[in-house]
Amino acid sequence: MGIVNVTPDSFSDGGRNFEASDACGHASRLLAEGAAIVDVGGESTRPFAEQVGQDEELRRVVPVIRGILERHPDAVVSVDTYKAEVARQALEAGAAIVNDVSACAFEPALLDVVASHKPGYVLMHSLGKPGTMQVDPRYSDVLSEVRTFFERGIRMLTGAGLPENRIVLDPGIGFGKTLEHNLTLLRGLGTFLDLGRPLLMGLSNKSFLGKLLGLEVHERGPATQVASALAQLAGARIHRVHQAAQAVQALTLAEAMRP
């Protein structure tokens, strides 16, 4: 899953693809490099990010989704949003997946949109909203609590009418977690496999790599590829990344070396 941030303030590439034409061009490059999905987002969800209004988010993402599909009619496009109306218009513009950091908690109407359109849906764990999630996050048992969250989320989504085979699980690395929380989740990915849904990992250039290895954002590419390959061997199946070509190489090598 290649990242297309149509934002001025994303932590890794904010502003780089803020214009629709640049964002579409970036999506084309990601697809050419082997991305199976392109994930278009119009609001940064980095820690302490400011919220973007609905109209502005629509202005950012809908033309990009349409532009990508005009260039690549067979592309699989995901929309990274927690807003019900943004998701609805994105799906009507041709997006096939909703990548939601909120699990329908920020705007409950999103559950109705998802149940009605039945897209792919990324159920992600987060502790609070982006503006506050990194203020002293605490868990009694992070693995157990995230698993319980997934179980409840699957019941909520299927109860609303979304087929279970549309759901992907994302433990939300960096979303309301300390370094140790993140590492505990990465060590324990097998805890989630018997839930029967694919795991998506968003490790690309994340701050836990910087804290663990002393790397600035622009230096985290190789560590991202290693972490993604290790997550693949631990059971992850979708990887949300900034650098598609390098990720494809790392994941291909991981599969070739799988015991």
The DSSP H or E segment spanning 99 is: strand 97-100
Q: Which of 83, 147, 177, 240 is catalytic?
A: 240
| Contact call for residues 168 and 120 (beta carbons, < 8 A) | yes
| Contact call for residues 66 and 26 (beta carbons, < 8 A) | no
Q: Which of 187, 206, 211, 220 is catalytic?
A: 206
DSSP-assigned beta bridge partners for residue 79: 40, 98
Closest to 115 (Cα-Cα) out of 80, 62, 158, 82: 158
What is the Cα–Cα distance from 30 to 9, expressed in whole angstroms? 20
Verify whether residue 206 is a known catalytic residue.
Answer: yes
What is the Cα–Cα distance from 249 to 11, expressed in whole angstroms? 24
Verify whether residue 66 is a known catalytic residue.
Answer: no
| Positions marked active-site | 206, 240
